[in-house]
Amino acid sequence: MFELDPQFVENLLLSKQVLSFSSYFHPSLVSLYLEIAKKEAQIFLILTEPVLKRFKADYSESFQTLVQFEHVSLYLFPKDSKLAGVTVTDRFFLLTILPQVKFFEHESLFSSEPQALKWGTDLFSYLQKEAVPVSAKTNPIIL
């Protein structure tokens, strides 16, 4: 339940571009995003406020390292979300939703079909329009 899907991890590590939205915190993603950033993959990361605060508080050094990469863009999603996560790369699309009545469970849809990548990119673009860019210049308090 708390382990990342091996197919997700394998494909994420091979991706050249990562578009990711998350309204839940998973500690394993911290090291994965750092590893991908070190490979110079383009990363666009949208986090809800609780996730951003936890990432910064519990993994401060990793957080600061990640945001220093020029090819990493960080955004704050200022609203509540019914989506747990959206990840779109040049290799796959993963949509994760939370059921209304069960806690600590989720349902995920994984696809590498071109139509799914397009749909996932469109969904991410919508979320990005609702998000606020986070940088040392625009939001120094957050960083």
CA angle centred on 122, ends 139 and 72, rounded to 5°: 35
pTM above 0.75, yes or no: yes
Mean residue pLDDT across the chain: 89
Q: How far is residue 132 from each of residues 12, 32, 61, 142, measured CA to CA in Å?
A: 24, 23, 22, 11
Contact 75, 45 (CB under 8 A): yes
> Terminal CA-to-CA distance of the chain, rounded, Å?
31
Per-residue pLDDT of 83-108, as tens digits, reads: 899 999 999 999 988 766 555 556 78
Domain boundaries defined on the chain: 6-134
Categorize the per-residue pLDDT at 137 as very low, low, confident or very high, splitting at 50, 70 and 90.
low
Strand partners, 46: 21, 75
Structure tokens at 58: 């519990």
Domain 6-134 matching CATH 2.170.120.12: the answer reads: no
Categorize the per-residue pLDDT at 2 as very low, low, confident or very high, splitting at 50, 70 and 90.
low
Q: DSSP readout, the chain?
A: --SPPHHHHHHHHT-SEEEEEESS--HHHHHHHHHHHHTT-EEEEEEEHHHHHHHHHHSHHHHHHHHHSTTEEEEEE-S--SEEEEEEESS-EEEEE--SS-SS--EEEEE--HHHHHHHHHHHHHHHHHSEEE-TTT-TTT-
**Between β-strands 17-22 and 83-89, what pairing exists: parallel, antiparallel or unpaired?**
antiparallel
